[in-house]
Amino acid sequence: MGGEPLYLEPRLESRLRSLLDSPALLHTLTDGLGSPLNVVVPDQLADNLQRFRAVYDKHHLSGQVFFAHKANRSSALLRRLAATDAGVDVASLGELQHALGAGFTPDRITATGPKNPEFLWLAARTSVTVSLDTRGELDQLATLVRKHALPRTRVLLRLSGFEASGVRVLSRRSRFGTAVGELDPLLEAVERHADVVEPVGVAYHLDTTSLAEKATALEGCLRVLEECRSRGLRPRAVDIGGGFGVDYLADGGQWERYTTELTEAVLGTRPPLTYGGHGYGLRNEAGTLRGTLGVYPAHRPVAGPRYLDELLAHPAASLDGRPLATLLLEHLHDLHTEPGRALLDQCGLTLARVLEVRDQEPGGPLAVRLAAKADDVALEEHGVFMDPVVVPRDPAGARADAGTDPVAVHLFGSRCLESDLITRRTVFLPRRPAPGDLLAFANTAGYCMDFHATRAQHQPAARKVAAWQEGDTWRWCLDDQYWPTTPVGGAQ
Amino acid sequence: MRYDSITEAIGNTPLVRIDPAVHGLRNIDLYAKLELLNPFGSVKDRAAWNMARPHLATAAEEGGQVVELSSGNTAKALAVLAGMHGLTFKSVTNRMRIPEIKDLLLLLGAQIEELPGQSECLDPTATDDPLTLFHRALSEPDSSYLHTDQYFNPRNTEAHFTGTGPEIVKDLDGRAPDWFIACVGTAGSSTGVARALREHDPAVRVAGLVAAKSDFIPGIRTIDEAHEVGLFDPGTYDSIDAVTSDEAIEGMLALNRRCGILAGPTGGAAFFGAVRQLRAVDAELTERQSAVFIVCDRVESYLSYVRQRRPDLFGRPRRRNSPADLTPAEISAAPAIGVADAQAWIATGAPLVVDLRSPHAYAALHIDGSVNIVDELFAELLHGGLPFSRNRPVLLACPVGEKSARHAALLTRMGHPDVRSLTGGIIAWRDAGAPLVRD
């Protein structure tokens, strides 16, 4: 097998751990509802919200946490969140309808992203806040509101292209938002449309893990709000988007060993760690490593609420080095956030049944074929390196074909396609799986359940169930059967 | 010694023996090569000068710009050299992690560009990482960049092969040391010196030091990062071991406090790694041996780095009248006043209203008639004593009434009879609909 097994074990909090310790339930579910199957855990979402709220409280900040709906289509998760005091960020007509139907009142909904006329109309009709990307979109909204005699619409101005002083912080270009350099014409348009739109704040969302870039953007927003005030406008919110991240792995040491060994595999100084020698962006040029490891930083201790906390404590270079939270507070601004992945941390898992376990070359990795397509478990699509957990069909394990030693495997999907691999990594499992066992991919609720799933080749997309605990017992229902009344009402 | 140009002062640095009482080795003489005494402050002066020198005249004619991927000493040396030759310098870097170096570079006239962080929503099909784009920009036709390319440029290694290495041999009376211990950064100095020493005596053993993987030591790469360096060849080193930042600082303190060598953490890492490596050998030895390590640069630029990791080294005496001395009971007992009563009190004209927020926030909106003393400055004033007369009532205001309560408690303890904190702060004031103005 080539040395010690290189595990990347998932970080599991109590609810997911308890679910994985319930093999009979998981097998009953997949026997009845098929493989693959998604399980969501709505109560975890409410706990995660409290962790974000605690960061707000620590910095004395007011404002709303908006769940980025696009990260998961689940009705159960959305309805559970509607029962809290959180908001939701919707990015399509369907998501807006879903949010309204789940019980979110319009004051708790922000509409963002590319918008068609129907989406804009329903948003304005129901008085949700609209985050505007461009001046053109502002004009379009204003025309729509006048033509259909809709109520004055609250808007956020989404900005981009912030510049830092002293050091030039390069940032990826965003296709969303108005460049800060174009602020004047934008504010003039806002003033012209004052009868139909009310600016309530400014927004940005940067696709980056870097604190410094986000701090630069936040400082830029403070300056823009000041500019608004000097014009007599009264917006008071800064919406800093999401991108707070998730810590997927239990053990930072495993992550460090794995990435070092992967580097060496690419350089050819150890046996390959991937199917076909794939380098995940790294390549070997005459003995020197080139390229960049293009994967998610799966071991990420400063993620989610902690990342927000560090961002808020970050000193604003251009404003006397005072922490960003202090500046927001002093200027009497509200802070809005839009976590998606981070709010769904530990909120679900994906189950796939093992169909076949086959030896390939002697001593090489086993071929394990699953009843799931690669797009059903989109961890690889997001560059997340994390091992599945084996849930044996027969927990006693008293079978001849089930081994007791660690094995290396390649995980193949069920499509008739060479490249249908659940992951191109060679995955190490603590023992040889057997047909009928389940592989549980933990922590898939954020973007890795239904964002990429297709029905290609007439294969089913995963069904989804919601699960919750009553005392020591797990209960469940189909995702769209779940309402906040279900757990106490006993709808089973 | 008289020179016509400061660049002539690069190199010929002293080799200083470390007192055996400090390192505790009985059979090995340990020498420090003091590269911190180069004119711009580090070992990188040699490589920067050697890489840039052949191209400076042409670049100056074409009005070009010197460019390097560096967040530290190479950037510093190149900024100076570029300036001396009428060129500008741009440093492109993943992250400037040492604030003092960043400020120094700006002071020297360098432009700094920080590359964007990793994408949060990964696009696995994206092939253009920021570094690739950087290299593409450099190689565009008509590009007037002078890219010194320290991680791949053989003239980096050469500077040490022809300079640092032979100087060591000369100072050891024509003998190569038995051991050479070097930190791996660009691998230029370790590779160049190792080659020169081995040419003199193939038996020289070379120990490479890298940073522990999750750790950060300025100027040293982790083993994964070392693989990205074109000049790095694992075959150069007889052994490669990791050093942690704690160990680097430990070594640095020994050099600073006991040897009179004001080395930074990189030199500290080399000293710590050298002693650790040699201690195992020392006990077995029957004849005398010698070892050399490089002291890369000076301590002064790393004060914030050390403060972050070892705040204990900066223990300062407690100052009087500090809000930190207050007990929770004192703070909760601080005299306070609600918004409606405060409005009435202000209307009498009696209290001085002090707004503790930053000037920027105060300028945007504040209570009419208030004065702005930002909290940090106010705390500073209180160390000196009461800043107001005792018969002048004072109303303190901050965003939510938390900082104002602490300062009201402190002023009360200092003997002010009529100071109050605005309950709920400026936010409560606004939420109650009380007027805020701009001047």
Among A170, A212, A319, the residue with its CB nearest the CB of B113 is A170
Question: Closest Cα to residue B254, out of B299, B296, B213?
Answer: B299
Poorest-pLDDT segment among A123-137, A149-163, A266-280, A310-324: A310-324
Tell me the shortest Cα–Cα distance from B108 to chain A, in angstroms.
12
Residue A397 corresponds to which tokens in the numbers above? Answer: 């394990």
Q: Is the pTM of this model over 0.90?
A: no
SS3 assignment, position B293: strand
Q: Which residues of A touch B427 (CB under 8 A)?
A: 62, 329, 332
Residue ranges covered by each domain of chain A: 14-40+346-476, 42-245+298-336, 252-291
Is pLDDT above 80 for B113? yes
Confidence bin at B130 (pLDDT 50/70/90): low
Using a CB-CB distance cutoff of 8 angstroms, which residues of chain B are in contact with residue A222?
Answer: 360
Q: Are B353 and B427 within one domain?
A: yes
Inter-chain contact A252–B426, Cβ cutoff 8 Å? no
Classify residue B221: in a domain, yes or no: yes
Question: Is the pLDDT confidence value at B168 over 60?
Answer: yes
DSSP state of B298: B
Q: Same domain, yes or no, for B207 and B310?
A: yes
pLDDT-derived band of residue B128, with 50, 70 and 90 as boundaries?
low
Q: What is the ipTM of this complex?
A: 0.72
Rounded Cα gap, residues B37 and B15, in angstroms: 11
Lowest mean per-residue pLDDT among A48-57, A203-212, B32-41, B338-347 = A203-212
To probe the interface with B, which of A56, A61, A167, A278 has the most B CB atoms within 10 Å?
A167
Per-residue model confidence as pLDDT tens digits over A33-51: 999 999 999 999 999 999 9
Verify that B140 and B160 share a domain, yes or no. Answer: no
Q: What is the mean pLDDT of residues A3-31?
A: 95
A356 C-beta neighbours (distance < 10 Å), count: 12
The reply to whether A62 touches chain B by the CB within 8 Å rule is yes
- Does any domain span residue B1? no
Angstroms from A30 CA to nearest CA on chain B: 30
Residue A184 has pLDDT above 90, yes or no: yes
* Helices (H), ranges, B294-413: 303-309, 328-332, 339-347, 359-364, 375-384, 402-413
Over the stretch A101-131, which tens digit does the pLDDT of each residue have?
999 999 999 999 999 999 999 999 999 999 9
User: Is A267 near chain B, with CB under 8 Å?
Assistant: yes
Question: Do the bridges between strand B352-355 and strand B394-397 make them parallel or antiparallel, or are there none, so unpaired?
Answer: parallel
Residue B141 and residue B242 in one domain = no
**A 446-475 residues with CB below 8 A of B?**
447
| A170 interaction partners in chain B (CB closer than 8 Å) | 113-116, 130
Name the percent of chain B lying above pLDDT 90.
70
CB B243 within 8 A of CB B260: no
Predicted confidence at residue B140, as pLDDT, reads 72
For residues A200 and A233, the answer to whether their CB atoms sit within 8 Å is no
Mean pLDDT of all residues in B406-430: 95
Binary contact (B426, A209; C-beta < 8 A):
no
Do B118 and B169 fall into the same domain? no
Q: Is A21 on the interface with B (CB under 8 A)?
A: no
| Domain that residue B112 falls in | 44-147
Which residue among B285, B314, B343 closes a domain?
Answer: B314
State mean pLDDT over A408-435: 91
Residue B393 lies in a domain: yes
Q: Give A 66-125 residues with CB within 8 A of chain B.
A: none
CATH of the domain at B266: 3.40.50.1100
**Chain B residues touching residue A267 (CB < 8 angstroms):** 227
User: What is the pLDDT, as a whole number, of residue A491?
Assistant: 43
pLDDT class of A414 with cuts at 50, 70, 90: confident
List chain A residues with CB under 8 Å of B112.
Answer: 166-168
Return d(Cα A326, Cα A313) in angstroms, integer: 8
Alpha-carbon torsion (A371, A377, A380, A381), positive or negative: positive
Q: Is residue B438 part of a domain?
A: no
Instruction: Note every long-range contact of A289-292, with CB atoms under 8 Å and residues 24 or more positions apart, other chains counting.
Output: A289/A263, A289/B224, A289/B227, A289/B228, A290/B228, A291/B129, A291/B132, A292/B129, A292/B131, A292/B132
Q: In chain B, which residues have their Cβ closer than 8 Å to the Cβ of A322? A: 358
CA distance B415 to chain A (A): 28
Nearest residue of B to residue A448, measured between CA atoms? B121
Q: Are residues B234 and B289 in the same domain?
A: yes
Q: Are B159 and B257 in a shared domain? A: yes
CB within 8 Å: B131 and A263: no
Least confident of A453-457, B175-179, B215-219, B365-369: A453-457
pLDDT for B278-325, tens place per residue?
A: 999 998 999 999 999 999 999 999 998 998 888 888 876 667 888 778
B399 touches chain A (CB under 8 A): yes
Do B261 and B379 have their domain in common?
no
Could you tell me if residue B208 is inside a domain? yes
Judge contact between B425 and B361, C-beta under 8 A.
no
Tally the domains of chain B. Answer: 3
Cα atoms in the Cβ-side hemisphere of radius 13 Å centred on B362 = 17
- Within 8 A of B129 by CB-CB distance, chain A residues are 281, 291-292, 294
Residues B293 and B377 in one domain: no
On whether both B235 and B261 belong to a single domain, the answer is yes
Which tokens is B171 given?
A: 């100072």
Do residue B216 and residue B292 come from a single domain? Answer: yes
Contacts of B116 in chain A (CB under 8 A): 169-172, 208, 210, 213
Domain boundary residue, one of B147, B179, B213: B147
Residues B167 and B269 in one domain: yes
The CATH number of whichever domain residue B406 belongs to comes to 3.40.250.10
Evaluate whether A233 touches A190 at the Cβ level (below 8 Å). Answer: yes
Q: Which residues contact B163 (CB under 8 A, 6 or more apart)?
A: B11, B46, B50
Task: Give the gap in angstroms from C-alpha A432 to the nearest C-alpha of chain B.
Answer: 30
Q: Residue B106 domain-assigned?
A: yes
Q: Cβ-count burial of B5 within 10 angstroms (0-12 exposed, 13-18 middle, 19+ buried)? A: exposed
Classify domain A14-40+346-476 at the CATH superfamily level. Answer: Lyase, Ornithine Decarboxylase; Chain A, domain 1 (2.40.37.10)
d(CA A334, CA A61): 7
Q: Which of B236, B145, B238 is nearest to B188 (CA)?
A: B236
Question: What is d(CA B118, CA B58) in angstroms, rounded to the nearest whole number?
Answer: 37
pLDDT of the residue at A490: 47
Which of A113-117, A447-451, B112-116, B270-274 shows the lowest per-residue confidence on average (mean pLDDT)? B112-116
Last residue of a domain, one of B274, B291, B314: B314
Q: What residues in B contact A229, CB-CB < 8 Å?
A: 364-365, 438
What angle in degrees, to the nearest 10, is found between the helix axes of A183-192 and A135-147?
Answer: 10
Residue burial B238-253, b: 16+ Cβ < 10 Å; e: rest: eeeebbbbebbbbbbb
Nearest to B116 among A210, A288, A330 (CB): A210
Record: fold of A42-245+298-336: TIM Barrel (3.20.20)
A173 at interface of B, judged by CB pairs closer than 8 A: no
Residue B437 placed within a domain: no
> What whole-number distance in Å separates Cα of residue A419 and Cα of residue A375?
11
Whether B349 contacts chain A with CB within 8 A: no
Q: Is A279 on the interface with B (CB under 8 A)?
A: no
Q: At A144, is the pLDDT very low, low, confident or very high (cuts 50, 70, 90)?
A: very high
